[in-house]
Amino acid sequence: MPNDKNQQVTDSNSTFDVAKIREDFPILNQLVNSYPLAYLDNAATTHKPQCVIDCLSAFYQTINANIHRGVHTLSMRATDAFEASRQTLQRYINAQSSKEIVFTRGTTEAINLVAHSYGNQNVKAGDEIIISEMEHHANIVPWQLLCQRTGACLKIIPINHKGELDLSKFNDLFSKRTKLVAIVYVSNSLGTINPIDDIIHVAHQHNVPVLVDGTQAGPHLKIDVQALSCDFLTLSAHKMYGPTGVGALYAKYHLLEKMPPYQAGGEMINYVSLEKSDYAPPPTRFEAGTMPIASVVAWSKGIDYIQNIGITNIANYEQALLNYATEKISQLENIKIYGEADQKTSILAFNLGNIHAHDVGTICDQHGVAIRTGHHCTMPIMQHFQVAATARASFAFYNTFTEIDQLITALQHAEEIFG
């Protein structure tokens, strides 16, 4: 088994010291049911390094003020910190301008923003929206609601037995009525990394814009929106070692300029009278009310933390964890793995014989191992594989090979109890 304290990665110029990294995450240093916590539920939410926690605390202790609305010192400091975070995210995904970054309350709100603001304006009765069978509910239900409002319909890219998109049928889904493709970059249930650049290329050949759900890609993959040329991209801070309750929508500015407001209230206006209102330009137009200011500011520290380690180093280490976990779990009797794509990131979904996934999760918890069980907000995937639920272990750069061994021991215990 590799040595957890000094993981070598393929980049010869750096050494991945997971023990040192773990020192930055105070929540990991605890016992659960008398076992060391092995937190393997990172696809649900990631833990926060001390720098993010300190930033949240420092904001409330030293800056706390509303933004864009005051001439006093604290308001100006808060505004500067908020806008600096916008620029940090712009650089992280290589957007052309910080004006293309809209802060939201998460990916779900970002997708709903597009479905309402862009969708209501551009989708009519008889039009079509293309999504895939592997989407999170957050990238299905908003489009279903749009179709109900407008009389449009959804077309679906199917998946194969390996949990990959069947792109042989993708081109045939397009027609003159296709108005949007909304596709996940990385499956939260299967770990599949979709060939998003190829998907965007095909869609653009049909003059169809593309929304990319980048939620699971954000902490694992290098994202360059200019190279991809995606039209929309969504992210969530809490998947990227930042606070909960904040996310972002990237959109090409010429699209944002034409989109009406999604929510109305303070801040998103230039002028209001009792007769009419004039709306601010993007991104302010889409940031109604008081934003989660402290969380936005602290998110930038999570992004900085990722960049300080290096996304390539992270990907290499997490791939090593996934390979090790897959090899170990495959040695168990009656194991069934879901999602065996040629290109996937650090998510391992499985069922253990006839043991219900929730029972597997309960036994794991008794051994201090936190995994996710259920449908993972991807019921169509469960229907495809004809299961009610799966157990899912998902890895981050602070996880260790020892924690994977702890998982395997828990699964062996589950076999003994229910076998």
Residues belonging to the active site: 377
Q: Which two tokens stand for residue 126?
A: 């008889």
Residue 320 neighbours by CB under 8 Å, 6+ apart: 2, 7, 9
**35, exposed or middle or buried, with CB in 10 Å at 0-12, 13-18, 19+?**
middle
First to last CA, the chain: 28
Q: What is the rounded distance in angstroms from the CA atom of residue 148 to the CA atom of residue 96?
A: 35
- The amino acid at residue 133 is E
Q: What is the rounded distance in angstroms from the CA atom of residue 355 to the CA atom of residue 176?
A: 48
Kindly give the pairing relationship between strand 15-16 and strand 7-8: antiparallel
HEC sequence for 177-213: CEEEEEEECECCCCCEECCHHHHHHHHHHCCCCEEEE
Q: What angle do CA 63, 219, 257 make, to 5 degrees?
A: 70
> Closest Cα partner for 28 from 333, 368, 412, 408?
368
CB 286 within 8 A of CB 255: no
How many angstroms separate the Cα of 212 from the Cα of each of 43, 120, 135, 200, 262?
17, 19, 11, 9, 19
Q: DSSP string spanning 248-263?
A: EEEE-HHHHHHPPPSS
Q: How many CB atoms lie within 10 A of CB 135?
A: 25
**173, exposed or middle or buried, with CB in 10 Å at 0-12, 13-18, 19+?**
middle
- The amino acid at residue 290 is T
Q: Which two tokens stand for residue 53?
A: 């926690």
Q: Which helix (H) or strand (E) holds 122?
A: helix 119-122
How many angstroms separate the Cα of 353 from the Cα of each of 333, 356, 418?
8, 8, 9
